Amino acid sequence: AQTVTQSQPEMSVQEAETVTLSCTYDTSENNYYLFWYKQPPSRQMILVIRQEAYKQQNATENRFSVNFQKAAKSFSLKISDSQLGDTAMYFCAFMTSTGANSKLTFGKGITLSVRP
Amino acid sequence: GAVVSQHPSRVICKSGTSVKIECRSLDFQATTMFWYRQFPKQSLMLMATSNEGSKATYEQGVEKDKFLINHASLTLSTLTVTSAHPEDSSFYICSASLTSGRSPYEQYFGPGTRLTVT
């Protein structure tokens, strides 16, 4: 079974600064996908970024980038130039296979607060 | 983008009654939908996987007779909480799997339904 671990329950960052959210996972699979989801106070789940395990290049989406270390089974999210709208819960998630029934395994989440 | 709606967004019901929550994919067809439950400040817990035209697959520990799932069309899945009790109060989220155009089968989430059982 796959597990996703987010060991930091809460983090705080000053507006415009950079913050890194940690995530580790455990799997025996070789092909899989990793995600970071954001859940703001509205509670709408929003996909932030996705990484395919077979790709060596780290994914980047504007101010969001990941540090994917496959051997270490680590998948951290870096948020640059933090904005007040980044305040949310962030979930790291894992998915194997590419079938329509593929399940997402979520970590416990981290609450990020951006201070003005 | 792919949009998923849920109705209602909030519902209050009395203990012992049943309540139905709808999940619709508005601009795409979804052969698979997922139902999650989330307690405050906690992660999403998968309850079941719903496939169009077939019985739902429930996760271990989820009572299938209490949480009835129907996926009658490629754009609609429903979750019915039967004989609801206060401990069923929670935030319920659905997601729909986009089955064409990209890989992996990315899940798009609805806005959630807050159920309060009094």
Block residue for tokens 């997402």 = A104
Specify the pLDDT at position B48. 96
B103 pLDDT above the threshold of 60: no
Q: CB atoms < 10 A from the CB of B82, how many?
A: 15
Q: CB atoms < 10 A from the CB of B17, how many?
A: 12
d(CA B46, CA A58): 28
For residue A57, what are the contacts with CB-CB under 8 A and spacing of at least 6?
Answer: none
The low-confidence residues of chain A, meaning pLDDT below 50, are: none
Query: pLDDT-based confidence at B100, cuts 50/70/90?
Result: low
Specify the pLDDT at position A96. 85
Query: pLDDT-based confidence at B101, cuts 50/70/90?
Result: low
Between β-strands A19-21 and A74-79, what pairing exists: parallel, antiparallel or unpaired? antiparallel
Query: pLDDT-based confidence at B106, cuts 50/70/90?
Result: confident
B118 pLDDT above the threshold of 70: yes
Residue B68 φ/ψ, nearest 5 degrees: -85, 130
> For residue B78, what are its two tokens?
């429903």
Distances (CA, A) of A22 to A14, A36, A46, A110: 18, 11, 18, 9
Shortest distance, CA A14 to any CA of chain B (angstroms)? 22
Task: Measure CB to CB from residue B105 to each of A43, A98, A108 and give the nearest one.
Answer: A98
Asked whether the beta carbons of residue B105 and residue A103 sit closer than 8 angstroms, the reply is no
B105 Cβ under 8 Å from any chain A Cβ: yes
> For residue A97, what are its two tokens?
């296979």
Chain B residues touching residue A111 (CB < 8 angstroms):
41
Asked whether the beta carbons of residue A100 and residue B31 sit closer than 8 angstroms, the reply is yes
Specify the pLDDT at position A101. 73
Asked whether the beta carbons of residue A42 and residue B32 sit closer than 8 angstroms, the reply is no
Specify the pLDDT at position B30. 86
Maximum alpha-carbon separation in chain A? 43
Specify the pLDDT at position B104. 58
> For residue A104, what are its two tokens?
């997402």
| Size of chain B, expressed as the number of residues it contains | 118
Candidates A2, A104, A113, partner chain B, best to mutate (most B CBs within 10 A): A104
pLDDT tens digits, B44-88? 999 999 988 888 999 999 999 999 999 989 899 999 999 999 999
Specify the pLDDT at position A11. 97
pLDDT tens digits, A41-50? 999 999 999 9
